[in-house]
Amino acid sequence: MNKKILILLTLTMLFATHQSAQAQDVQKVQTEKTQIEAEQQAVSITVSESAIHVKNAEKQILEIYNLAGVKVNSIRIDSADKVIEIASLPKGCYILKVGKTVRKCYLK
């Protein structure tokens, strides 16, 4: 009789541990998804005639690519609201990337 109770308790503990691990995995995935969505929504890139305005991208890197996919510049964003002059770039189309946020721009 004691053997049956011991087996039943062991199986119950294993099942409870498995369920708890699954719940933690689901919570971890949901937390990571929320963080990624918050990052994507928070970063803002706008372009005026000769400047790029980046918001909410502190400690990230702005990468500037030409249409051939060649990286022409890489700039570390050191504040939550940063304005970067781009008058030195040749006229043309560029792709701006900060984290997962990507924008196209055309310099005249």
* Phi, psi dihedral angles at 40 (to 5 degrees): -65, -40
**Left if phi > 0, otherwise alpha if psi is -120 to 50, otherwise beta: which for 69?**
left
Stronger pLDDT, 42 or 60, i.e. the higher one: 60
DSSP, residue by residue, 5-52: HHHHHHHHHHHHHHHHHHHHHHHHHHHHHHHHHHHHHH-EEEE-SSEE
The confidence band for 28, taking pLDDT boundaries of 50, 70 and 90, is confident
- Model's pTM, two decimal places? 0.61
Burial of 57 (0-12, 13-18, 19+ CB in 10 A): buried
Specify the pLDDT at position 38. 56
Q: Is the pLDDT of residue 39 over 60?
A: no
